């Protein structure tokens, strides 16, 4: 047994908890590391800029099929897999793990008279990190894919000398050079290139002996790999969870829609797995779990965040709290779309996010292990959270006390209206 988290107001009789706040704490399940890394590398090697994600979803679906986990796809192509929960007629509350398989990328904005392509970013990311990238350009039709390189407009050191260093690094100062003979717009048209074609930045994943994974697009895909590893651990151990759990793989997180569709109403707790921001003046760690307390969309659920932190502590999983200023997630999209669920986010540490990204196997594994603990507990408030609404007497307000502010009655001559009330 463990405390879910410490009640800061445990002496206040008037706020006696409406239900016990302790329950059995399971230990983390072992995660198949080699499998996790293998799946992650395959995900990274499958291009999936937001808006062109069908191939990666085919792979994700194939992985769930191999694990024997049933799933459905939405019309738009997001996937919802289902880990069974204990049958309970009185309690139909479900859980959701949400991850995203789409990544940042680019689209052809304009065919240029010099035979190169102007790009616009898909998702928010800097051209500074795109410059130099090898890419794949997808023209319409399944058979043709061109390779190329994103270049600064002044790309030749022998031609421009020091001016190379002083040119701006924004999207208006880069262009795509494809590896085909193209000197003008006509050449590009002959190759089938059109405005609106998708461009994927090649990820080039590397797994080092020291335990790092260095690749573009860890943002998103390491979360998908963690979720798949959780599904593998749960199914191979023959575990029936206390609550049916949906694993939702979304396809448009990088442009903000994320989990805005496809989530069932009965989800009471949602945890998104996504990148944590390893950067100066952030708390995020690269070798453990980062628990997000708030981001651009606001604070995450008070009780669920603290519950997850407490579980990490019980399971000896390194876990820190952090707040991200320039960050949104699938959880935000779900909440904004009206989901009546508690929501939290567990992050694997990513250094250089949306740029030259790096994480550790240990961090992705730690996130997966913590999720295996959480899924095997009952809801944060087993009774209160079981239904979408309830009476005040059952509302677990004891864990969030707020001392009442002091006030002083104004004297009559100080009253703004000049008279006593
Ligand atoms: Zn992102």
- CA–centroid distance, 296 to ligand 1, in Å, is 13
CA–CA gap between residue 64 and residue 81 (Å, rounded)? 8
366: which residues sit within 8 A by CB, 6+ positions away? 287, 288, 289, 317, 318, 319, 348
State the pLDDT at residue 1. 47
CA–CA gap between residue 72 and residue 74 (Å, rounded)? 7
In a domain, 396, yes or no: no
Whether residues 138 and 222 fall in one domain: no
Cβ–Cβ under 8 Å, residues 342 and 270: yes
In a domain, 282, yes or no: yes
Per residue, the 3-state secondary structure of 304-324, as one string, reads: HHHHHHHHHHHCCCCEEEEEC
- CA–centroid distance, 28 to ligand 1, in Å, is 27
275: which residues sit within 8 A by CB, 6+ positions away? 218, 219, 220, 222, 223, 347, 348, 349, 350, 353, 357, 359
State the pLDDT at residue 14. 43
In a domain, 405, yes or no: no
- CA–centroid distance, 386 to ligand 1, in Å, is 32
More confident residue, 299 or 386: 299
Count of domains forming the chain: 2
In a domain, 403, yes or no: no
Whether residues 45 and 112 fall in one domain: no
In this structure, of 189-198, 203-212, 387-396, the range with the lowest mean pLDDT score is: 387-396
Whether residues 15 and 44 fall in one domain: yes
Nearest one of 265, 263, 266, 268 to 247, comparing CA atoms: 263
State the pLDDT at residue 19. 55
State the pLDDT at residue 410. 75
Q: Which of 12-16, 203-207, 256-260, 410-414 has the highest mean pLDDT?
A: 203-207
Q: Does 149 have pLDDT greater than 70?
A: yes
User: Rounded to 5 degrees, what are φ and ψ at 359?
Assistant: -140, -175
Judged on CB neighbours under 10 Å (0-12, 13-18, 19+), 274 is: buried
Residue where one domain finishes, among candidates 170, 201, 232: 201
Residue where one domain finishes, among candidates 166, 201, 236: 201
- CA–centroid distance, 220 to ligand 1, in Å, is 7
Which pLDDT tens digit goes with each residue over 261-293? 888 888 999 999 999 999 999 999 999 999 999
- CA–centroid distance, 124 to ligand 1, in Å, is 8
Whether residues 227 and 306 fall in one domain: yes
CA–CA gap between residue 295 and residue 112 (Å, rounded)? 39
414: which residues sit within 8 A by CB, 6+ positions away? none
Whether residues 91 and 52 fall in one domain: yes
Q: Does 20 have pLDDT greater than 90?
A: no
State the pLDDT at residue 21. 53
Task: Tell me the CATH number at 88.
Answer: 3.40.630.10
In a domain, 419, yes or no: no
- CA–centroid distance, 372 to ligand 1, in Å, is 24
Give the range of the structural domain holding residue 44, as residue numbers without chain letter: 2-103+217-385
pTM above 0.75, yes or no: yes
Which pLDDT tens digit goes with each residue over 305-347? 999 999 999 999 999 999 999 999 999 889 988 888 999 999 9
- CA–centroid distance, 418 to ligand 1, in Å, is 58
In a domain, 184, yes or no: yes
- CA–centroid distance, 314 to ligand 1, in Å, is 30
State the pLDDT at residue 419. 53
- CA–centroid distance, 352 to ligand 1, in Å, is 11
Whether residues 183 and 223 fall in one domain: no
- CA–centroid distance, 217 to ligand 1, in Å, is 8
- CA–centroid distance, 103 to ligand 1, in Å, is 7
Task: Tell me the CATH number at 133.
Answer: 2.40.30.40
State the pLDDT at residue 5. 53
């Amino acid at each position: 047994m463990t405390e879910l988290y410490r009640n800061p107001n445990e002496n206040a009789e008037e706020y006696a908890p409406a239900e016990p706040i302790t329950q059995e704490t399971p230990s983390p399940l072992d995660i198949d590391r080699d499998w996790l890394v293998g799946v992650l590398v395959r995900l990274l090697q499958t291009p999936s800029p937001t808006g062109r994600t069908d191939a990666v979803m085919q792979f994700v679906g194939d992985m769930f099929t191999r694990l024997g986990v049933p799933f459905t796809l939405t019309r738009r192509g997001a996937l919802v897999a289902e880990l069974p929960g204990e049958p309970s007629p009185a309690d139909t509350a479900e859980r959701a793990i949400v991850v995203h398989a789409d990544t940042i990328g680019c689209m052809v904005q304009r065919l240029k008279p010099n035979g190169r392509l102007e790009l616009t970013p898909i998702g928010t990311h800097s051209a500074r990190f795109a410059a130099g990238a090898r890419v794949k350009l997808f023209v319409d039709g399944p058979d043709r894919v061109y390779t190329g390189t994103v270049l600064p407009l002044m790309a030749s050191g022998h031609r421009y000398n020091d001016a190379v260093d002083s040119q701006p690094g924004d999207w208006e100062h880069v262009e795509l050079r494809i590896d085909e003979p193209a000197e003008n717009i006509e050449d590009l048209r002959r190759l089938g290139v059109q405005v609106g074609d998708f461009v994927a930045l090649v990820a080039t994943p590397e797994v080092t002996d020291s335990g790092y994974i260095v690749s573009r697009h860890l943002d998103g895909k390491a979360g998908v790999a963690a979720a798949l590893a959780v599904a593998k651990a749960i199914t191979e151990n023959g575990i029936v969870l206390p609550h049916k759990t949906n694993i939702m793989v979304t396809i448009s997180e990088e442009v903000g829609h994320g989990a805005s569709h496809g989530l069932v109403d009965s989800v009471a707790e949602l945890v998104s797995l996504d990148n944590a921001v390893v950067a100066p003046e952030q708390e995020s760690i690269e070798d453990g779990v980062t628990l997000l307390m708030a981001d651009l969309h606001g604070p995450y659920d008070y009780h669920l965040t603290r519950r997850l932190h407490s579980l990490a502590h019980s399971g000896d999983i390194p876990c820190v709290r952090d707040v991200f200023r320039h960050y949104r997630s699938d959880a935000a999209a779900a909440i904004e779309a009206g989901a009546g669920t508690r929501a939290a986010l567990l992050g694997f540490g990513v250094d250089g996010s949306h740029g030259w990204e790096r994480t550790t196997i240990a961090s992705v594994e730690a996130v997966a292990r913590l999720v295996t603990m959480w899924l095997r507990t009952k809801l944060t408030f087993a009774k209160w959270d079981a239904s979408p609404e309830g009476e005040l007497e059952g509302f677990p307000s004891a864990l969030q006390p707020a001392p009442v502010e002091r006030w002083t009655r104004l004297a009559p001559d100080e009253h703004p209206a000049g008279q006593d009330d």
